[in-house]
Structure formats: C-alpha cells, structure tokens
Chain A
C-alpha cells in the first residue's frame, strides 16, 4: 500500500488513495493533523505529536518543534540524554504516522510519497529520503508541495485549459508554482519560493511586538517563559484570523501581563514578511513568461494562508480574489494521496499526467580568463537552468585550467548567483586526466536530473574517451548509507511512549499548561478535575477514563476559548 504523507514544519498528515478518493487517516487522538513536535519525557521516553506539543511550553529543553528547517544540515538537537539529528526527528514523526495507519487499516504501508517544499535543495531532499528510510518505509517519489496542492485543485476543478498560480504558505516555507492544465496534463511552468518564510515567522513578529510593547528584554526571559509566550501568541495569531482584535494574558516569571493586538496592527508589523512574498511570485511569472492577466486562478494553500492579510496581499497584487480550500492545511496531504494513487497505477489516473520542473539552477564551479588575461575564480557555470522540465539531461564542455593537469575537480553547486560563494554546495568529484595540453583535453560534463529529484553527474574525458560516472561524494550535512543503517537500528531501540496512552499524556500536559496560564479560581477548578482524571487512570477502566477525559477536556476548552476577543 502506498500512502501520501505531508511532512510539514508545524503539522504532518498521512492519507491514502481509496476507491472513493483521497482519504486522510486520523491519529490516536482522532485528529487529522499531527503536530511535528518531538519531545522526551522525564523517564526518557519519546513523545511525538500533540503530547509533545503540550510539553513544548513547559519543558522547552526536552522538546523540539520546526526541525524541518534543520533538514539538510548536521545540526543535532539534544533532548534529554540523547541528541538527535533532524532526519531522526522526522523519522520519529513518520513512524508515528505510519503507526496510525496501521492502527486504522490494519496494514503497515511499505511505500510512501512524501511532500517537500518545491524550493528544497538537493541536500534537503536527500535528508527527507533518508528520514523515510530510517523510519522503515521506502520513498521513491518526492512531490513538491505546490504541485500536490495543484493536483488536488486540478482534479476537482476539471477545466478545459487553465493557467493557475499556487501560493503555498506553510508553517515554515513559502512556495510559488505556476501551472497549466490542459487535456488531463498538468504542467508546472515555474517554481520559486523562500525556505525561511512561514507561519512561524509571523508568530515571531507577534512575540517581538509584545516584548517591545511590554518593555521586556528578550534575553532576560527563561526558555520556558519564552516558549509559553510563544505558544500563547501562536493561538492569538489563529484567533486574529477570525476576530479583529484579540487580548491575551502573557505570563512572565514575575507577573501576568495583559496585552492586546488588532488585526490591522498585525498586518502593519508583518509588512516586511509580506514584502518578501512578492519576489518569488514575480520570479515565477517572469520565468514562465506569463503576465498576471493570463492567469485564470490563484490558489492559496497552507495553514498560514488563513490569515486575512495574506488574502489581502494577493488580492492587491492581482486585483482578484484567490481561491482557497475549505481546509487549507489538508490540501497538500490530499494532493500527496492523489500522487500515491497515481503511483500505484490506480485506473482512475490513466488520463492524468503530471510534469514538474527543477526549481533551481544546477552547475559547476569554473574559472574564466578574460581578454586582459586576468583570471577570475569561483564563477558558476550553469548546466541545467532553473525551471527546466524534468527529467532533464544537459551536457556542457569544459577545459582544464592548466596544461598537463593531473586531475579535474568538479564541484557541483545549486543556486542563481554568478559566483559560487553565494550558491549552495552539493558535492564534488575528482576525475583523473591524461597528460595533455589544456586545449586538447576537453571534458564533457552531463547532468541528468530525474523525475524524483536525483542528480546524476557523468563526466567524459574526450582525449581518452573514458567515461566516469562517479557518485557525488556525500554532502557533509548528509548521512552516509552506513550511518543510516546505524541510526535505523538505534531508533528501533528507543523507547517510544505507548501509542494508546499518548492521548492521556497529551491531556495531562495540556491541563498542566492551562493551569500555569491561569490564576486562582480557574486553577482550583482545573486542579479538582485533574485529580479526578488521574484517579480514573489508576482504575484502568476504559469507560471511566473516557468520561473523566471528556469532563476535563471540556473545561480546558472553555478556559482556552476565553483568552480571546475584545468586544468590537
């Protein structure tokens, strides 16, 4: 069975393609969205999902969120006694999702289609693949998130011929894709984006504004306080999508301070972020030679697109109302399920073909001698230009710098800058050269970029006719296959908190958090119901546990729902 997974910065979803269409699988708490948060309890057990998210505010040193931003690098996060690489954290989330599928359908999936931001680099994609391998599932196809959303949109809309723009503003990344769909063919014309622009940055804006208004030095806050404030302002951000003004009580070490913010002020504060959204849109339009008038629709995707300022910005840019799914957080996952269905050759997809593009330029580092015999080093020579339809294979010819050079070092870069210092390094390979003069020793370098986003580099030394199909040496940020094996085994030995009990853990942690946020009267009430819940847990009788859980849950809902809107 092939599943489709949306591995997001803030939330992850899993689903599959069934006879009645794309179906998302709920997790143990009954929710379709699983927060991408990993935490470690005091006993050393690993928590994934809502339970860990509740723990984030109370124990920030043992919990980590938004680790998707570290993918592709070697940054290790220390949780409790062990430090985790970003691939391992993602693998833990994937394992939890797969366990949900097994619980729901009885079958453990063997293959998955995972979504990545369109603008993810080669290293980041490889890291995602490695994470899936560590989690024990095979991932052959990575799908770009805006393409997935476009699949979900395109199949639903069924238009003859249309050109549309998909803007995906997720938790951590912003992607733009321009697509054209005709006769069952969906073509991506251009892809662009910003890997460091998402809902999290908007929360950061709120945090900065709050600390500035209340005249608190950010450095004077403890990590726990800061995490607590951040969690609360995250909820404020969501409420600002529906209410014009929100007031909230922020808890510092010494006091509880009220603070309010209006939606208009939020938009003012976020102006720089909104301005950053313009550049990828303009680039996508320019790369595909499309004018804004030629677009038929603009589709907003991603949880953060619920904010009215995003819709307002898009309306200002294009002069028309964009479309948005009823559930914007689920669109990418639904698209991934569609892709999973396509991959499993479901008969429904005989008439649908999708082509994608490579969103960044790939090339090598060269040195160039100009007319004044001055040598410039560190220049970037593109071989595959950005927004070429993949699979693509391009070849360029190069000569060594000096006569009788012993070896040629090919350094592969990805990026748009003419100097490699500003581009992203992917890997390098060394090929030996025969002893010839430079002009008689050309080397053909062929880049093949396949549909799954894997880059293959082939170099042919023409003087001898020798072909070197060398594997690019691993990027220092990535794991080698042996490392992956080792971590797979290690992860299997980590104690993960039992799945069935995660719901209770989540509730307990949530109660503890709400207890901290509120004062006397509410605290008394929470305390009473919490004791009842714990007593019910001791009895281990499921009906009593259920009843107590509901009782506590409704109280917490009431209390949380209260931290909200001013009367207009």
Chain B
C-alpha cells in the first residue's frame, strides 16, 4: 500500500519523528519559497501540517503509554495537581540542553505527588554518548531538480522515501548576518514579582467575605497569580480540590471564580481532562461544584431581609421553614408530614413564592426534585395520583382509628357499669369490625372518587380527542363535494337497483340508514332529527315507483348534505341568503313531517 500523499510530499516514512518532519520541511521550504512558488508552497505547507500533527500525536501516544505505572497510583488520591513547579526558563533550558548534549538525563523538575512525568523531548532521543559521531556531509541543495514541489534528492515520487540519517543535526550554516549591526536584545531591568504558592492564594480567597461583591471583585482584579498564564491553572485546580474536599466559599466568590475560569463553558471538562483529571475525579468535582453553588445561593437567599409572601408574618418564620425543608432535601418526605392540609398549602405557597422570586432553577437546586415532587403531588388541586390516595387513606384510618378508640372506651365504660357482662369482647369485636368496614368503605369511596376524576380528566378527554381526530381524518374528506356528490349519486343508483331487485321498502331503508350513518357520525346533531324524520317519511310514504323513490331520496339527501356544508362554513353561516336557504330547508322538512302526519291521520 503506497503511503499517503503527505508523507510522499515530504519524502519521509510514516513513522518519522517531529524533529525529522520539521527538518525536512525547512529544507524543502528553502526551495519553495512562498513568494516564488505559491502553489508548491501551499502543497508543501498542507503536507507539513498533516505530517507534523500525526507525528506529534504519535509521540504523545508513546509518551503516555510509557508511563501508565507511574500515573496509576496518582489516580487514587483526590484530584492531584501535577504542579508545574519548574519555571518556564528551566523547561526551555532543559530542552535546549537535551538537544545539544543528547543525554537522557531527566530535566530538573519537582516530582509532585509522586508522578514521574518525563517530557517528550527526552523520550525522543535514545541515550547516546555525549561525543557526537562523525557528521554526514551537508545536503547539497543545488542538486535538486526544478519542478514543483522541489525535492531534496532527485528520486521519482514512487520510490521508497529515503530514511533520514538522523543521528545528528546537520552543521549549522555559518551565520552570514552580522549580528553586531542589529544590536542586542537584553532582559528588561526590573525585579520580577514573587509568586505565591497556589495553596496560599486559595487560602486567602476562601477567607474573603463572600457576600461583599466589591471586595471579591477587587481581589480578583488584583491577584497577580491569576493574571499569570502559567499559574492560573494551578490555582484553579487547588480551588477545585478544596471545594471537592468540602470548603464552602460565598456566593460571589463562586460566581466570580466561575466566570474567571470559565466553569460554565462547554470546554471545561475537556480542559480539566487535558490537565490530568480522570473521569471519576471529574464527577466528584462536578457534584461538589453543584452542591457548593446551591448552598451558596441558598445562604444568600436566606440572608435577604424581604419576606417572600405578602401574607406571611415575616422572613424569620419563612426562613425557618425553608431551612427545615432544605435540611431534608434529597429524600422523599414521609407521608405523615403532609397530614395537615393546611401545612401542605402553606409549604406549596412558600415554594411557589420562592420560585417566583429566585427562579425555578434555584428552587430545583436548593430543595431537590424528590421533595418538590412530593409536595406538589399532595396538593389538593393537582391531578389525582397514588400519593393523594394513600394520603387520604392515611387520614381516614387515622381519624377512624381515633374514633374507634373512643368508641371502644365508651363501650367498655358502658359495659363496665353493668356488672361483668361476658359479651364484652364480642361487642368489642363487632364494634371493631363495623368500624373497620366503615373505614374500608370510606377509603373505597375516596378511591372511587379519585379514579373517577382521573378518568374524567385523562381518559375521557383522550377519547374525545381521539374521536375528533378520527372524524377529521376519515369523515371530513368524504364530505367534500368532489367525493360526496358521486357518493350520493352512487347510493341513489344503488337504491334504485335494490328497489328494482327486491321490490319492497328495503331500498329506502338502506338509503335512510346510510344517510343516518354518514351525517350522524359527522356530529350534525342539529340535522339528525330532520334526517330521522325524512327517513321515516320515505319508509312509510307509499312509494310511487322506483323512479320517484330514487329521485326523492337522492334529492333530499343532496339537499341535506348541501345545507349542512353551508351551515358549517363559518363565514357562510353569517350571510343572509345562506341562512335563508337553511330556513327554507328546515321549512321543507317541517312540511314533509306535517304531510306525513296528515297522511297518517287521513289513513286512520
């Protein structure tokens, strides 16, 4: 399989190191300068970016694979912060030293928490003797052929890319630029500030009064460790670790730290993972942050001097109740807490007022979903559910039980006055059984009431909706003229045929039934009686022959249908001539009925 185009372009094997990739790129770049050969340069650059990324990923993968044992014990402790205790200068100096002397000595760094992390550059180069070997001759770039992108040696692209003799860098070309003319760059002449340890910084932060917004703001604006790009991460990790261990900073501190470090950003977990926090530690941190925020928010709300509800006596008793509820959050309360209906109403009103003032999210975080669900479900105005039923049953049994005890005492006293009746236990038993059965009946009644309510609200409504939908989907389309007229004509033809074949009033009956079904289902309650009447008239009127029957039936049905369509159209129902038409229609129906009645009367 031939290697991908980007390795071919750079003429390197796919397992080249970062150093080789960079070196080859620099060689090729001198032949394909951006201003001379833009096309070639663009292709070279694209290949270089891909190869560099692949090589870096490969080396990062190797580095992390080389130290799993070193990293494992670090995982067990609470979020470890591998503090970069080495200063940046030392890191840079170490890299340079490693490049020049080629020894595998680990650079000077403080092993924090026992993690022995070695930087990648050291792994890159195998331990070699400190004396550099014989140098290869420098590449002769003049020998490169002209076409773009130019290659280092003249090999055709298909050949296997030559491996770089990479044991030593080529000798640095003698610098032709006279450095003296340009001048010296010197370090500036000031004293660098002394940076404190992250632990000290976080200590100071936690001691701030979290309720004083200006103070917190000023501290964050002035803290030098937070301005420093290299120290910020360590301070953030330390703060997260303290919060996970249980520290409770004030609300403003948390909010400000959240906006400063970007805790609400989508990239926050990824950033922590890049710094070495494992998945389990991240969960702990996230939970701790949520807890902390909720607590801080709640404390701030409790501190506010205004009462939530206008009708309550004052913020103190509201706070007392809120604190009580808050202390029991996370657990579903026992049923007996909702025994008193008044208490239920009071709690619900208080929670509602809290949500109005501070928002639903704050409510959710401060009190927890179980508690909120419970109190909402026992409210008398809410839809029937099992909790209400059980609560009702509890109340019934509680009151019933109390009543039973009282009755027992009365009966016992009553019997006591009479001398030692042997039927006392029997009485007691009867009494108990009767009371218990009454209670059961009551419970059953309550249950039935709740079930009926549930049925009425949920199931009946659902049926009605379903029926409406079915009518809309299946019956409405058939009432459109394009479909209904042919249908009616067809029914008429069918009736004629049936009448011809069967010869009795069966055809009329058939048509009447069909008409009833059609218009009855569409919910035209208003014209249903008219339809019924007409159907009876058709049945009992002496049919004068199939043609009359057919014409009469078809015509009447058509008129009925037309009238209904017109009546249903909202705008049409307002216009005069259509209303008059409907009146005429109804009048004709009345006339039919009258004639039928007269006929009947005449017949008798």
Do chains A and B stick together as partners? yes
Q: Which residues of A contact B (CB under 8 A)?
A: 20-23, 141, 152-153, 155-162, 182-185, 278, 282, 285, 291-293, 295-296, 299-300, 308, 311-312, 315-327, 330-331, 334, 338, 347-351, 353, 355, 389-393, 450-452
Residues B229 and A292 in contact, CB atoms below 8 Å apart: yes
Residues B185 and A319 in contact, CB atoms below 8 Å apart: no
Min CB gap B225→A, angstroms: 9
Q: A319-B192, A321-B188, A391-B42 are in contact. Are A451 and B96 (CB under 8 A)?
A: no
Nearest to A313 among chain B residues (CB) is: B227
CA distance A152 to B178 in the complex (A): 11
- Which residues of chain B from 224 to 241 have any CB-CB distance to chain A below 8 Å in the complex? 224, 227-231
**Interface: B200 (CB within 8 A):** no
Residues A348 and B91 in contact, CB atoms below 8 Å apart: no
Q: A183-B23, A292-B88, A391-B41 are in contact. Are A318 and B230 (CB under 8 A)?
A: yes
Q: A161-B99, A350-B30, A450-B38 are in contact. Are A322 and B187 (CB under 8 A)?
A: yes
| B193 CB contact (under 8 Å) in A184, A291, A316, A348 | A316
Interface size on B, residues (CB 8 A): 51
Nearest to B86 among chain A residues (CB) is: A293
**Interface: B204 (CB within 8 A):** no
Given the complex, which residues of A lie within 8 Å of B186, measured CB to CB? 323-324, 326
**Interface: B414 (CB within 8 A):** no
Min CB gap A328→B, angstroms: 10
**Interface: B173 (CB within 8 A):** yes
Given A22-B181, A160-B99, A353-B33, 18 more pairs with CB closer than 8 A? A21-B178, A21-B182, A23-B181, A152-B183, A155-B177, A155-B179, A155-B182, A158-B172, A182-B22, A184-B26, A311-B188, A311-B190, A312-B193, A326-B184, A355-B34, A355-B45, A391-B42, A392-B42
Min CB gap B260→A, angstroms: 13
Residues A21 and B177 in contact, CB atoms below 8 Å apart: yes
CA distance A157 to B175 in the complex (A): 11
**What string of 1s and 0s marks CB contacts (under 8 Å) between B147-186 and chain A?**
0000000000000000000000100110111111111111
Min CB gap A464→B, angstroms: 26
CA distance A291 to B42 in the complex (A): 27
Residues B92 and A296 in contact, CB atoms below 8 Å apart: yes
Nearest to B227 among chain A residues (CB) is: A316
Nearest to A331 among chain B residues (CB) is: B183
**What string of 1s and 0s marks CB contacts (under 8 Å) between B406-445 and chain A?**
0000000000000000000000000000000000000000
Residues A324 and B185 in contact, CB atoms below 8 Å apart: yes
Min CB gap A489→B, angstroms: 32
CA distance A169 to B228 in the complex (A): 20
Residues B230 and A348 in contact, CB atoms below 8 Å apart: no
Q: A316-B224, A318-B88 are in contact. Are A20 and B181 (CB under 8 A)?
A: yes
Residues A285 and B188 in contact, CB atoms below 8 Å apart: no
**Interface: B78 (CB within 8 A):** no
Residues A183 and B34 in contact, CB atoms below 8 Å apart: no
Given the complex, which residues of A lie within 8 Å of B193, measured CB to CB? 312, 315-316
Given the complex, which residues of B lie within 8 Å of A282, measured CB to CB? 229
Residues B192 and A320 in contact, CB atoms below 8 Å apart: yes
Nearest to B29 among chain A residues (CB) is: A353
Given the complex, which residues of B lie within 8 Å of A321, measured CB to CB? 187-188, 190, 192
Residues B176 and A319 in contact, CB atoms below 8 Å apart: no
- Which residues of chain B from 217 to 256 have any CB-CB distance to chain A below 8 Å in the complex? 224, 227-231
Min CB gap A292→B, angstroms: 3
CA distance A152 to B185 in the complex (A): 10
Given the complex, which residues of B lie within 8 Å of A22, measured CB to CB? 181-182
Residues B22 and A317 in contact, CB atoms below 8 Å apart: no
| B30 CB contact (under 8 Å) in A152, A158, A184, A317 | A184
Given the complex, which residues of B lie within 8 Å of A293, measured CB to CB? 84, 88, 91, 230
**Interface: B2 (CB within 8 A):** no
Listed residue (A159, A278, A285, A326) with the most chain B CB atoms within 10 angstroms of its CB: A326
**Interface: B35 (CB within 8 A):** yes
| A156 CB contact (under 8 Å) in B23, B96, B185, B228 | B185
| B182 CB contact (under 8 Å) in A185, A299, A315, A334 | A334
Given the complex, which residues of B lie within 8 Å of A330, measured CB to CB? 183
Residues A157 and B181 in contact, CB atoms below 8 Å apart: no
Min CB gap A453→B, angstroms: 12
CA distance A162 to B87 in the complex (A): 16
Q: What 6 A-B pairs come out closest when comparing CB atoms? A: A21-B181, A292-B229, A183-B26, A348-B176, A21-B178, A311-B188
Given the complex, which residues of B lie within 8 Å of A141, measured CB to CB? 35
Given the complex, which residues of A lie within 8 Å of B184, measured CB to CB? 156, 325-326
Interface SS of chain B: helix, strand, loop or mixed? helix
Nearest to A334 among chain B residues (CB) is: B182
9 CB < 8 A contacts A-B: A156-B177, A182-B26, A183-B23, A316-B193, A316-B227, A321-B192, A323-B187, A326-B186, A347-B176
Min CB gap A1→B, angstroms: 17
CA distance A334 to B89 in the complex (A): 27
Residues A451 and B34 in contact, CB atoms below 8 Å apart: yes
CA distance A316 to B176 in the complex (A): 37
Interface SS of chain A: helix, strand, loop or mixed? mixed
**Interface: B482 (CB within 8 A):** no
Min CB gap A70→B, angstroms: 30
Residues B190 and A156 in contact, CB atoms below 8 Å apart: no
Q: A321-B187, A323-B187, A324-B185 are in contact. Are A391 and B34 (CB under 8 A)?
A: yes
CA distance A158 to B185 in the complex (A): 12
CA distance A416 to B23 in the complex (A): 34
Residues B180 and A315 in contact, CB atoms below 8 Å apart: no
Residues A326 and B188 in contact, CB atoms below 8 Å apart: no
Min CB gap B211→A, angstroms: 26
Min CB gap B319→A, angstroms: 41
Given the complex, which residues of A lie within 8 Å of B33, measured CB to CB? 353
Given the complex, which residues of A lie within 8 Å of B195, measured CB to CB? 319
Q: A152-B182, A299-B185, A389-B45 are in contact. Are A320 and B88 (CB under 8 A)?
A: yes
CA distance A278 to B227 in the complex (A): 9
Given the complex, which residues of B lie within 8 Å of A162, measured CB to CB? 92
Given the complex, which residues of A lie within 8 Å of B188, measured CB to CB? 300, 311, 315, 321-324
**What string of 1s and 0s marks CB contacts (under 8 Å) between B314-341 and chain A?**
0000000000000000000000000000
CA distance A451 to B38 in the complex (A): 8
**Interface: B561 (CB within 8 A):** no
**Interface: B25 (CB within 8 A):** yes
Given the complex, which residues of B lie within 8 Å of A153, measured CB to CB? 185
Min CB gap A173→B, angstroms: 21
Given the complex, which residues of B lie within 8 Å of A152, measured CB to CB? 182-183
CA distance A433 to B30 in the complex (A): 44
Given the complex, which residues of B lie within 8 Å of A157, measured CB to CB? 185
Residues A312 and B177 in contact, CB atoms below 8 Å apart: no
CA distance A35 to B373 in the complex (A): 75
- Which residues of chain B from 512 to 551 have any CB-CB distance to chain A below 8 Å in the complex? none
Residues B42 and A317 in contact, CB atoms below 8 Å apart: no
CA distance A330 to B91 in the complex (A): 31
Given the complex, which residues of A lie within 8 Å of B169, measured CB to CB? 160
Q: A292-B88, A293-B84, A451-B35 are in contact. Are A323 and B185 (CB under 8 A)?
A: yes
- Which residues of chain B from 301 to 316 have any CB-CB distance to chain A below 8 Å in the complex? none
Min CB gap B51→A, angstroms: 15
Nearest to B30 among chain A residues (CB) is: A353
**What string of 1s and 0s marks CB contacts (under 8 Å) between B59-95 and chain A?**
0000000000000000000000000100111011001
Min CB gap B47→A, angstroms: 12
Min CB gap B167→A, angstroms: 16
Min CB gap A485→B, angstroms: 27
Listed residue (A183, A285, A355) with the most chain B CB atoms within 10 angstroms of its CB: A183
Min CB gap A146→B, angstroms: 14
Nearest to A318 among chain B residues (CB) is: B229
CA distance A380 to B393 in the complex (A): 65
Listed residue (B182, B186, B228, B229) with the most chain A CB atoms within 10 angstroms of its CB: B182
| A315 CB contact (under 8 Å) in B42, B99, B190 | B190
CA distance A153 to B181 in the complex (A): 12
CA distance A45 to B498 in the complex (A): 117
Residues A184 and B34 in contact, CB atoms below 8 Å apart: no
Given the complex, which residues of B lie within 8 Å of A155, measured CB to CB? 175, 177, 179, 182
